[in-house]
Amino acid sequence: MSEISIEEEFIIKKLEENGGKLNYKELQILCQEEFEGVRLILKKLKEKKIVNYEGVIPGYSAEIELTR
């Protein structure tokens, strides 16, 4: 498995703290003070099979689920 970036680790930690699931909007709010580009990071995490959500890029109301 490829290396996990600081941003990816931050998202994983936030998902773990919230029972493995978060709405995209809520996750965006948690990340906005730390970094930008949450959708792109989530896309990379989905490609690594660490998170799952409907579609290729998460929509505003998408449920983000930790899969590992």
Tens digit of pLDDT for each residue in 47-57? 999 999 999 99
Say if 10 falls within a structural domain. yes
| CATH code, domain with 58 | 1.10.10
- pLDDT computed for residue 18 by the predictor: 95
CA dist 3 and 29 (Å) reads 25
Q: What is the pTM of this model?
A: 0.91
> Is residue 53 assigned to a domain?
yes
| DSSP string over 17-54 | HTTTEEEHHHHHHHHTTT-S-HHHHHHHHHHTTSEE-S
Q: Identify whether 34 is part of a domain.
A: yes
Mean pLDDT value across the chain:
94
**Structural domain includes residue 1:** no
Helix 24-31 and helix 38-47, axial crossing angle in degrees, nearest 10: 120
**Residue stretches of the chain with pLDDT short of 50:** none
Q: Quote the CA–CA distance of 8 and 4 in Å, as a whole number.
A: 6
**Number of domains making up the chain:** 1
User: What pLDDT score was predicted for residue 23?
Assistant: 96
